[in-house]
Amino acid sequence: MIGCGFAGLAAAKHLARQPVEVTLIDHHNFHTFQPLLYQVATAGLDPSDVAYPVRTIFRHDPNVVFRHGRATAVDLDRRRITLADDATIDYDHLIVGTGAAAGFLGITGAAEHARPLYTLGDARRLRNAVLGALEAADAHPENFDGGAPTFVVVGGGATGVETAGALMELLDVSIRQDRLRIDPRRSRVVLLDAGDRLLAGFTDTLGRYAAETLRSRGVIVRLNEPVQEVTATGVRLADGEWIAAAAVVWAGGVTVGPTLAGTLAADHGRGGRVVVEDDLSLSGHPEVYVVGDAAAVPRAPGGDPCPQLAQVAIQSGGHAARQILRRRAGRPTEPFRYKDKGMMAAIGRRAAVTELPRGFVLRGSLGWLAWLGLHIVYLIGFRNRLIVLVDWWWRYVNWPGGPRLIDADVDSD
């Protein structure tokens, strides 16, 4: 099993204590709770709050073995995985859940200068960039347009909305509590989307609510604004307008292209996602499953692909594991059917949107409480859950408690 994201983890959990030998391969020794990376990037949570060692997760499951290393190739015919250290691992069944990578849609300079938010390293780097820009503006306001840094977020999906909202709150804390010498009327967070609404996956009402709430909190929301170019100092819009920015956050989508799954000898669909059969196996290789963000997981047999969400990863990973057990038991595999449990996005303190199946929606404080509860329940491991709760509670009653550490300079001290 390659990849310890939501999909790989769900699959391994299903296979734990079953009569199979499971080898989990990942080049990180931890699982990352990706939906909260934006809080790490905006100094609300600490990296270790959203990361959990894989060995710890499976410490009571003797048939699950972890192998730290980067899988570089899969030979489907020989059923053999090659790792970066040239070691090889043979398999009977394989589940590939290697996720995706930021997809920059061919926008000039985006790959070099925009900052994605898909890995823990992304989040740490963004945090260092944001906090570093705030300190730089405090020391040298003359270097900033208008005396204050502007942060641009590209992409108005859940990640973009959550990041923009959290950046605005961070600016507020920094200026009020940390007494940074930045003019609050001049510090800006700009959220850009090429489409005509936010939260395209949610209902229209919730998209409008998100835009209104963000605007009421000071975020500049600009719709129908495709980005033409990203540089080290800002973004240029399609109509030629230039926005100087201390950091450009990339929330504009992902692609499977550069990952291991992207190199699999298989058909690839939109965004490089691996095309799979209805049971999530590879065509011609019923012993190989591709799941999570890496695959074009069909919503139902023959249906459209699901969006790349944590829920889809968890359900598809579990499905693949069950099919392996069925095959071993000599039974036919079953097609995958996505059970929509709803979607959520937090806009900030006491404001979130929750959309449940059958059109039931929550927003505002109630949506936020639902968001909080669900994320805490899903966070892996009691220790992390408790500490995140303490962090959040403390941050709620007393904002300045966040881990606002600039550790970019740890490499040079």
The least CB distance from residue 95 to a second copy, in Å, is: 20
Contacts (Cβ under 8 Å, ≥6 apart) of 398: none
- For residues 233 and 398, which CB has a smaller minimum distance to a second copy in the complex? 398
Stretch that binds a second copy, among 147-155, 186-194, 316-324, 396-404 (CB under 8 A): 396-404
Q: Yes or no: say if 380 and 31 are a contact pair by the CB < 8 Å rule.
A: yes
Residues 53-72 that bind a second copy (CB under 8 A): 53, 55-56, 59, 62, 65, 67-69
- For residues 64 and 243, which CB has a smaller minimum distance to a second copy in the complex? 64
Q: Yes or no: say if 198 and 206 are a contact pair by the CB < 8 Å rule.
A: no
The least CB distance from residue 119 to a second copy, in Å, is: 5
Which one among 122, 162, 193, 293 touches a second copy, defined by CB under 8 A? 122
343: left (phi over 0), alpha (psi -120 to 50) or beta: beta
Contacts (Cβ under 8 Å, ≥6 apart) of 147: 137, 141, 182, 183, 186
Stretch that binds a second copy, among 119-127, 159-167, 290-298, 330-338 (CB under 8 A): 119-127
Listed residue (254, 248, 215) closest to 230, CA to CA = 248
Q: Which helix (H) or strand (E) holds 65?
A: strand 64-68
Q: Yes or no: say if 198 and 211 are a contact pair by the CB < 8 Å rule.
A: yes
User: Which residue do the tokens 């509590």 mark?
Assistant: 177
- For residues 237 and 405, which CB has a smaller minimum distance to a second copy in the complex? 405
- For residues 57 and 320, which CB has a smaller minimum distance to a second copy in the complex? 57
DSSP code of 115? B
User: Of 21, 112, 162, 229, which one is the catalytic site residue?
Assistant: 162
Which one among 76, 82, 111, 138 touches a second copy, defined by CB under 8 A? 138
* Residue 50 to residue 30: CA distance in whole angstroms: 10
User: What is the per-residue binding string for a second copy in 5-44, x denoting contact by CB under 8 A?
Assistant: ----------------------xxxx--------------
Contacts (Cβ under 8 Å, ≥6 apart) of 241: none
Listed residue (5, 2, 61, 59) closest to 30, CA to CA = 5
The least CB distance from residue 172 to a second copy, in Å, is: 14
User: Does the annotation count 162 as an active-site position?
Assistant: yes
The least CB distance from residue 161 to a second copy, in Å, is: 24
- One-letter amino acid of 275: V
SS3 content of the chain, % helix, strand, coil (to 5): 40, 25, 40
Per DSSP, the three-state class of 18 is: coil
- For residues 26 and 279, which CB has a smaller minimum distance to a second copy in the complex? 26
User: What is the per-residue binding string for a second copy in 146-185, x denoting contact by CB under 8 A?
Assistant: -------------------------------xxxx-----
Query: Which active-site residues does the annotation give?
Result: 162
Binding site for a second copy (CB under 8 A): 27-30, 46-48, 51, 53, 55-56, 59, 62, 65, 67-69, 85, 87, 119-122, 124-125, 131, 135-136, 138-140, 177-180, 381, 383, 386-387, 390-391, 394, 398, 400-401, 403-407, 409-413
